[in-house]
Amino acid sequence: MAALKLKSWPFPENQEAELIWFGSPFMDYKGNWRIRVAFRASSSGIKVVSYPWGTLPYLRIGQIYTNAVYDQIRPMSGSVFHFTINSLDQGTITNGFKLPKRLIDFGKNPELGLQNIIQYRTNGLTHCIPVIEFVRAMFINSRYLAYYFLQPHGLDLLVDKSHVQERTLHFNLSNRVPARLATDNNARHLSWIHTDPQIRSLWDSVYQNLFSQAIKNSPSNPSVLLRKGIPLEPTLPEVGPIEFHVRGVQFIDYVLVKEILAIGGFRHPSEEILFWHPSKKKRESSAGDKSVRFISGASTKDYVFNENSDYAKEDINQDVIETPPTIMKFINYPVLETRRHSVKQSNTGNEVIVSSGRGGKLTGEKEVSTQDSMEGGDTPPIDFQALETIPAHEAIGLEQFFQMIEILKKSFPVSVRMSVLRVPPGKRFSVCANGSRRTCAVVQVTYNGSTYYVVEVARPDDWSISTLILHPSDQISFRAIEYNIKQLLDGLVRKGGHWDQNVLDRCLGLTIDKLKHYQSDSSRDWTFRLVGKLV
């Protein structure tokens, strides 16, 4: 497995620290899911650090870190245990404070001790599985599944089609699933979750219980509790018998499970699966020359997690870091056939060395993000304080605008920062036809020494409203710009979806221009018309 380095690290250089526990997932002020992780060092005790929720697949209780790098050679603490339960729903859900202190001591930290565990009594032993580890092993093998796991109807966003025809399950994954995750094993895994009613209910129950708890404690503003963090609690289905192979530690008749190594005993609803993903293409050989590119530098597979990357690029072909596998064994093993539509040419002629273009192996230490991905690239956000930003995946109706911004970044010497906001509530215009809140993007563009702010309102319904381009004077402060953007959006809603000229006139220190939308415009046309306004 690649060497993985965490960027936020609270311990001194060369001091060893063990990952001992997980805290609650929570939303930061930008709406990104994060997970608290507890480390213990012999000299400095327990320290809790938060990382993007998508980091979870790479973390295991008992891992030893030095200088933020996990030591893959040193064995993790614990012994291997094997036990079988009659049914998942026979487990008792309680909190970590019920564990003997000789197994784990949380240092009186309520955030850690209140995390839920599932207890199974079998063969005279009580096996205690942390809920975080349980859902990781069952469902989360990549950062993509991690983020869709904490979204309403997240699984449905990964599946384009799923139906049974003549005893064969036709299962199509969407292009939200990266090509490197569109494997046979993942197709079996996702189709099992999607089509087995009891397993699907287990998947759904975690987010539903999380959100229900937030509503119960704060009916008027559930986001308050989501930002504080809520221990995960699944609703266990009647499925079994299930066989576990785990790594854990024992004290008297209690076994604390630190890692689930393998799970067996599940039955897939289908015996045959016809699988499809947009990346699956037929290969046809041709006699053309093969292009070979060489780049300087030694190849490496080391990665640095950049948890400060607010919007990780969404790319169907991006790298997927390998994670330690949890073996999932089915009683039946569905036969899987891949359906391929489009054709990919594969040259089999002579190798020709070329020097242009990207290619070759990765060199040096590569920085990657486990943050939630977005269409539009790894664009840093604007440092708003009074305006509340949201994750870009909620920006329905801004997809073409994101494409235009990507072309702008690649075609011109610009510096770009971008945030997505919700349009203020209160009018019919605030809600799109599908029931989702209308959003808008604010892009800070620095070009030829000048800074501009581009305000684009989402138009999934092709609503007729121009793009605003704000050019601030040198004297106006950033907070005044932020205030004016807020007033513009408030006026937009009051006017039922049209820019309020009175508000435009009151924006002192700003020169405001409008850019109309034309249906005939391509994304590139739109880009060049925008640049024409940046003078």
Q: What would the two tokens of residue 280 be? A: 């699956």
Q: Is residue 483 part of a domain?
A: yes
The residue that leads in pLDDT, 220 or 368, is 220
E strand or H helix at 199, and its extent? helix 197-217
Q: What would the two tokens of residue 37 be? A: 């992780």
Mean pLDDT throughout 56-64?
91
Domain with 218 in it: 4-273
Segment among 137-146, 170-179, 478-487 with least mean pLDDT: 170-179
Collapse the DSSP code of 329 into the 3-class scheme (helix H, G, I; strand E, B; otherwise coil) and give the result.
strand
Domains held by the chain: number? 2
Most confident residue range from 183-192, 247-256, 439-448 = 247-256
User: Would the pTM of this model clear 0.85, i.e. be above it?
Assistant: no
Most confident residue range from 209-218, 243-252, 269-278 = 243-252
pLDDT bracket for residue 361 (50, 70, 90): very low
CA distances from 49 to 8, 279, 311, 434, 482 (A): 7, 37, 20, 38, 31
Tell me the per-residue pLDDT of 195-221, one tens digit each, with 9 for 90 and over.
999 999 999 999 999 988 888 888 877
Query: Within this chain, do residues 62 and 205 fall inside the same structural domain, yes or no?
Result: yes
DSSP code, position 532:
H
- pLDDT of the residue at 365: 55
| pLDDT above 80 (res 234) | yes
Collapse the DSSP code of 441 into the 3-class scheme (helix H, G, I; strand E, B; otherwise coil) and give the result.
strand
Contact 64, 44 (CB under 8 A): no
- Averaged pLDDT of the chain: 82
Query: Within this chain, do residues 108 and 240 fall inside the same structural domain, yes or no?
Result: yes
Residues shown for the chain: 535
Segment among 299-313, 422-436, 453-467 with least mean pLDDT: 299-313
Q: Is residue 420 part of a domain?
A: yes
Mean pLDDT throughout 129-153?
89
Mean pLDDT throughout 443-453?
89
- pLDDT of the residue at 196: 93
- pLDDT of the residue at 307: 52
Q: Is residue 269 part of a domain?
A: yes
- pLDDT of the residue at 434: 62
- pLDDT of the residue at 360: 43
- pLDDT of the residue at 291: 52
Q: What would the two tokens of residue 113 be? A: 């001790």
Query: Within this chain, do residues 398 and 252 fall inside the same structural domain, yes or no?
Result: no
| pLDDT above 60 (res 243) | yes
- pLDDT of the residue at 348: 53
CA distances from 248 to 74, 193, 447 (A): 16, 27, 57
Indicate the residue among 273, 289, 307 that finishes a domain: 273
| pLDDT above 60 (res 515) | yes
Mean pLDDT throughout 279-288?
58
| pLDDT above 70 (res 72) | yes
The residue that leads in pLDDT, 442 or 298, is 442
Query: Within this chain, do residues 266 and 415 fall inside the same structural domain, yes or no?
Result: no
pLDDT bracket for residue 78 (50, 70, 90): confident
- pLDDT of the residue at 363: 46
The residue that leads in pLDDT, 128 or 519, is 128
The label of the residue with tokens 């213990």 reads 40
- pLDDT of the residue at 358: 41
Q: Is residue 521 part of a domain?
A: yes
| pLDDT above 90 (res 233) | yes
The residue that leads in pLDDT, 260 or 224, is 260
Indicate the residue among 273, 295, 320 that finishes a domain: 273
Q: Percent of the chain at pLDDT above 90?
A: 32
Collapse the DSSP code of 322 into the 3-class scheme (helix H, G, I; strand E, B; otherwise coil) and give the result.
coil
- pLDDT of the residue at 287: 54
| pLDDT above 50 (res 343) | no
Q: Percent of the chain at pLDDT above 70?
A: 83
- pLDDT of the residue at 285: 52
Mean pLDDT throughout 64-79?
86
pLDDT bracket for residue 433 (50, 70, 90): low
- pLDDT of the residue at 467: 92
Q: Is residue 370 part of a domain?
A: no
Query: Within this chain, do residues 257 and 404 fall inside the same structural domain, yes or no?
Result: no
Mean pLDDT throughout 42-55?
88
Q: Of 73, 79, 63, 66, which is closest to residue 19 (Cα–Cα)?
A: 63
Segment among 100-104, 126-130, 385-389, 408-412 with least mean pLDDT: 385-389
The residue that leads in pLDDT, 130 or 339, is 130
Indicate the residue among 249, 273, 297 that finishes a domain: 273
Tell me the per-residue pLDDT of 480-496, one tens digit each, with 9 for 90 and over.
999 999 999 989 988 88
Could you give the residue ranges of the DSSP H alpha helices within 7-130?
110-113
The label of the residue with tokens 């709406």 reads 31
CA dist., res. 288 & res. 371, Å (int):
41
- pLDDT of the residue at 311: 46
Q: Is residue 385 part of a domain?
A: no
The residue that leads in pLDDT, 198 or 523, is 198
- pLDDT of the residue at 366: 55
| pLDDT above 90 (res 84) | yes
| pLDDT above 90 (res 37) | yes
The residue that leads in pLDDT, 200 or 8, is 200
- pLDDT of the residue at 371: 60
DSSP readout, 176-196? TS-GGG--HHHHHHHHHHHH-
- pLDDT of the residue at 316: 41
| pLDDT above 80 (res 367) | no
Q: Is residue 380 part of a domain?
A: no
CA dist., res. 423 & res. 431, Å (int):
9
- pLDDT of the residue at 521: 83
DSSP code, position 145:
H
Q: Is residue 86 part of a domain?
A: yes
- pLDDT of the residue at 534: 85
Residue type at 301 in one-letter notation: K
